[in-house]
Chains A and B, each alone.
Chain A
Amino acid sequence: MQKPHSREDLSYMVEMIGITKRFPGIVANDQISFAVRPGEIHALLGENGAGKSTLMSILTGLYRPDEGEIRLRGQQVHLQSPRDAVQRGIGMVHQHFKLVNSFTVAENILLGLQDGTGEVYQLHEINKKIEACSREYGLQLDPQAKIWQLSVGEQQRAEIIKLLYRGADLLILDEPTAVLTPQEATELYKTLRRMAELGKSVIVISHKLSEVLEHTDAITVLRSGRSVGTVATSGTSEQELTQMMVGRMLCPVLDKANVMPGKPVLTLENVTALGDRGLPALKEVTLTVNGGEILGIAGVAGNGQKELAEVIAGLRAIESGTKWINSVDHTGDTPQAAIHAGVSYIPEDRLGTGLVPNLNAVENILLKMYQKMPGWRINWSQAARDTTAIIKQHDIKIAHLDAPVKMLSGGNLQKLLLGREIFHHPELIVAMYPMRGLDIGAIETIRKLLLEVRAAGKGVLLISEELDELTCMADRIAVFHEGMVMGVVRPQEVTIETIGVMMAGKRMAVAMSGN
């Protein structure tokens, strides 16, 4: 092989060089390189699907890379299994904790320790060691407490102590603050800083820009499976990071007809709604979607997009404010009432919410049509006719009509779902990340279908993480940050940088009206 280790190489805790990992149909990691020094808190930043999880799964021994090498303290290693990685001092705190609820902290720490020698552990010694460990890093925790008695923040501490106890030098935390209160988050970063000062390395996966900027030393940005680059935290800004995250791509030639925007199809007025954890996820949102128009929703994931879509589809209750569909008050709609009002919804979770994996194509088409059938019976022959029509119209590759739809590819699933949603000519279609995970061909088809809905004078609300996607498709873009509308812009009048600044939380009042 080539060069001997230079002195600089030795100063890294871990180096990942040219890592490539392919899954059927996609390249999850494409020649990614990055390195972390001892004593450094390093952020891994990127949108959903950018390749962060895959990369960390490789580093924790869950996947093996197709190409590239990993060096640990300057030595090349081939990680065989997660246990192998743990033994080499690599530990990860997952977003969903891996703790046994009915066990104590000490017992949970013991759990992963068995090394096959059959030795009996002295619990009180272990308790002492745990207490020493918590003192050293300022992680207050009672080793005798049962996990279910602990707050989420304390459970996270238990996870961290578990790793430290096993001698981890490199700690990876996946979205550690997603479940924490702001105070707990500050506390967590204090602990991480103390660990870094003691010579450990910390990798934090996140998409919270402000937090990353405040607490880390270096930031590596991933986008669609590639590394965009590593920057020193002190020398960068939210704007630069946003731009690195969302990138830019030339608009493909789209057959975007000139459509005069019509009357408002959907109007939200000061709508507030709660998220799954009971905290406000939408705050005083006001926006309008006109007929013959695509309104894009831009924003970093988790800033209220899902709640917005669910409020419109009647799946989530509105706390205050008003929802109008075609100038009729639909604030208190049930999902069924929203369907009858002509709202179609492409959920983020296609297989499981939008489609039922174990039912066949006809039954899945029926899902949104059976209520429109007269009487109390199901008209199976009509359902089969509609299904055949949808399959033909959108060129969906399907082997057997009565095979469960989970057998279909991602692109065909999405075409089936979208085909069903536009079959009855809805007034408004809410599409959440409709292109995510699809190949180029399927993306083209989905774009074309959405533009057809627009050309037919209906409304489209397109939620996307890809700014390029939005600037190409949307007539106007509403930018979301922490559940609030930062402003509504016309893509041809602003730069991607401006949208990026708004996504980071800067308010701008532009182009509020549709006409």
Chain B
Amino acid sequence: MKGKWRWEKRETSSKTVTILVPIFSCVVGLLFAGIFIWVSGKNPLLVYGLMVEGALGSAYGISETVVKAIPLMLTGLAVSLAFRMQLWNIGAEGQFYMGAFGATWAALTFPDWPAYLLLPTMLMLGFVAGGIWGLLPAIPRAYFKVNETITTLLMNYIAILWVDYFVFGPWKDPKGMNFPLTAPFSEGALLPAFGTSRIHVGLILALLIAAIFYYVLQYTKWGFEIRVSGESPRAAHYAGMNHKRNILLVMLISGGIAGIAGMTEVSAITQRLQHGISPGYGYTAIIIAWLARLHPLAIVFVSFLFGGLLVGGFSIQTSGFPAATVAMLQGAILFFVVGGEIFTQYRLTWGGKGER
């Protein structure tokens, strides 16, 4: 029989396909990573089983999954807003660090302030510091078309080293046995947690921001401008939208939200600023935003999934797996999700018809 496989463009992109394709891609990613686990002499099913158990098998596991999901959610939402406008903010990691830095400055400068004063100040400074870190690369992008992918990425290293300078230098805790960390925050600088768990009110903040994002994108004029600008900058200009102003605004907010993630992390989890406070949340955020197709509510869901992946990854380290296993899993999933994108627009058909 003569014929060959052909890509055929889908007439319409159905809802089912747009949801099923990423899920299927995730599964293929896990299968692919499973090959490596198998080659290294372990049973992939067993390893995945251990991960699920570690992440969801106990109250502690579940609460840790949620704790990891909070910064992922916030940074995921942050980058998704920029991605909507086709601004490739790869700098959520640095914005996270700067947000943590800004919040720490307030916590260390006004240790005697009560929580109702100090926490809002820290939140605001976290937003402002992260926002400035997002805004800085946005200015050359808006006025001189300087590629923001590179600049936001490079700014990450500056931010990380900037924080390192403070925790290794002027802010180092004299009682910290020479570890690179600041003194513990005062009582008023700590975000309240639920019960005895480490789950903190940052969760409510993240859910609130997700809901606001959804509303803004769907129901406000500004959200409409963001969507149009992302689809076609020429059409945005034609329709009288202020493209430059929107670039600056979106990057400011995107950086600011990532900064809030940094603030909640130092205020509720580490309760001080320290070297390496983020295990790469700002990069994982990119995978999450992409997997969720930039939909704010889907980001919430996917963040829990990746929170579980992180926690599960920690738990398999006890059975002899390097920490990099999680990074490999994330990479494999992103690879197949991005690669699977083509199936939402095309379908593969077996066609007998050659070209004319």
Q: Which residues of A contact B (CB under 8 A)?
A: 64, 313-315, 334-339, 345, 347, 349, 352-359, 363, 366-368, 370-371, 373, 376-378, 380, 400, 403-404, 407
Question: Which residue of B has the minimal Cβ distance to A375?
Answer: B221
Whether B231 is near chain A, meaning CB under 8 Å from some CB there, is yes
Cβ contact within 8 Å between B231 and A403? no
Cβ contact within 8 Å between A377 and B231? no
Q: Please encode chain B, from 221 to 235, with 1 for each CB lying within 8 Å of some chain A CB and 0 for all others.
A: 111100110011011
CA distance A373 to B237 in the complex (A): 19
Given contacts A371-B221, A378-B219, A378-B224, contact A356 B12 (CB under 8 A): no
Cβ contact within 8 Å between A353 and B219? no
Given contacts A376-B221, A377-B219, A378-B219, contact A368 B239 (CB under 8 A): yes
Given contacts A356-B232, A357-B231, A407-B12, contact A376 B238 (CB under 8 A): no
Contact of B228 among A347, A359, A377, A404 (CB under 8 A): A359
Cβ contact within 8 Å between B234 and A334? no
How many whole Å from B118's CB to the nearest CB in chain A?
32
CA distance A353 to B228 in the complex (A): 11
Contact of B220 among A314, A371, A376 (CB under 8 A): A376
CA distance A376 to B215 in the complex (A): 12
Question: Which residue of B has the minimal Cβ distance to A339?
Answer: B240
Cβ contact within 8 Å between A403 and B12? yes
Cβ contact within 8 Å between A371 and B238? no
Given contacts A359-B227, A378-B221, contact A367 B12 (CB under 8 A): no
Those of B9-28 within 8 Å (CB) of chain A: 11-13
CA distance A370 to B226 in the complex (A): 13
How many whole Å from B243's CB to the nearest CB in chain A?
10
Given contacts A339-B240, A359-B227, A407-B12, contact A370 B221 (CB under 8 A): yes
Given contacts A335-B240, A353-B234, A356-B232, contact A407 B221 (CB under 8 A): no
Interfacial chain A residues near B237, Cβ < 8 Å: 315, 335
Question: Which residue of B has the minimal Cβ distance to A337?
Answer: B240
Cβ contact within 8 Å between A315 and B238? yes
Cross-chain pairs A/B with CB under 8 angstroms, 14 sampled: A315-B238, A335-B238, A336-B241, A337-B240, A339-B240, A345-B238, A352-B232, A353-B238, A354-B238, A363-B224, A367-B235, A376-B220, A404-B12, A407-B11
Cβ contact within 8 Å between A356 and B219? no
Cβ contact within 8 Å between A352 and B235? yes
Cβ contact within 8 Å between B222 and A376? yes
Cβ contact within 8 Å between A353 and B235? yes
Question: Which residue of A has the minimal Cβ distance to B232?
Answer: A356
Cβ contact within 8 Å between B235 and A354? yes
Given A367-B239, A376-B222; 18 other pairs, CB 8 A cutoff: A314-B240, A315-B237, A315-B238, A335-B237, A338-B240, A347-B238, A353-B238, A356-B228, A359-B227, A366-B224, A367-B235, A370-B221, A370-B224, A371-B240, A378-B220, A400-B12, A403-B12, A404-B13
Whether B356 is near chain A, meaning CB under 8 Å from some CB there, is yes
Contact of A359 among B231, B238, B242 (CB under 8 A): B231
Chain B interfacial residues counted at CB < 8 A = 22
Interfacial chain A residues near B219, Cβ < 8 Å: 377-378, 380
Contact of B239 among A335, A357, A378 (CB under 8 A): A335
How many whole Å from A407's CB to the nearest CB in chain B?
7
Question: Which residue of A has the minimal Cβ distance to B222?
Answer: A376
How many whole Å from A325's CB to the nearest CB in chain B?
15
Cβ contact within 8 Å between A356 and B231? yes
Question: Which residue of B has the minimal Cβ distance to A368?
Answer: B239
Interfacial chain A residues near B238, Cβ < 8 Å: 313, 315, 335, 345, 347, 353-354
Interfacial chain B residues near A354, Cβ < 8 Å: 235, 238
Interface centre among B12, B227, B237, B238 (most CB of A within 10 A): B238
Interfacial chain B residues near A338, Cβ < 8 Å: 240
CA distance A338 to B227 in the complex (A): 22
CA distance A371 to B238 in the complex (A): 13
CA distance A357 to B345 in the complex (A): 14
Cβ contact within 8 Å between A352 and B234? yes
Interface centre among A336, A345, A356 (most CB of B within 10 A): A356
Interfacial chain A residues near B228, Cβ < 8 Å: 356, 359, 363, 367
CA distance A315 to B235 in the complex (A): 11
Cβ contact within 8 Å between A377 and B220? yes
How many whole Å from B92's CB to the nearest CB in chain A?
25
CA distance A339 to B242 in the complex (A): 13
Interface centre among B11, B221, B222, B235 (most CB of A within 10 A): B235
Interfacial chain B residues near A313, Cβ < 8 Å: 238
Closest 7 CB pairs of A and B: A336-B240, A335-B240, A353-B234, A367-B239, A356-B231, A356-B235, A356-B232
Interfacial chain A residues near B234, Cβ < 8 Å: 349, 352-353
How many whole Å from B106's CB to the nearest CB in chain A?
31
Interfacial chain A residues near B235, Cβ < 8 Å: 352-356, 367
CA distance A339 to B236 in the complex (A): 13
Given contacts A335-B237, A335-B240, A371-B240, contact A357 B232 (CB under 8 A): yes
CA distance A298 to B224 in the complex (A): 37
Question: Which residue of B has the minimal Cβ distance to A367?
Answer: B239
CA distance A449 to B161 in the complex (A): 63
Cβ contact within 8 Å between B221 and A377? yes
CA distance A463 to B72 in the complex (A): 53
Those of B219-274 within 8 Å (CB) of chain A: 219-224, 227-228, 231-232, 234-235, 237-242
Interfacial chain A residues near B242, Cβ < 8 Å: 334, 336
Interfacial chain A residues near B231, Cβ < 8 Å: 356-359
How many whole Å from B246's CB to the nearest CB in chain A?
13
Interfacial chain B residues near A367, Cβ < 8 Å: 228, 235, 239
How many whole Å from A7's CB to the nearest CB in chain B?
36
How many whole Å from B347's CB to the nearest CB in chain A?
16
CA distance A363 to B217 in the complex (A): 13
CA distance A345 to B240 in the complex (A): 12
Interfacial chain A residues near B240, Cβ < 8 Å: 314, 334-339, 371
CA distance A28 to B219 in the complex (A): 44
Those of B191-229 within 8 Å (CB) of chain A: 219-224, 227-228
CA distance A200 to B221 in the complex (A): 60
CA distance A414 to B238 in the complex (A): 16
Question: Which residue of B has the minimal Cβ distance to A366?
Answer: B224
CA distance A407 to B9 in the complex (A): 11
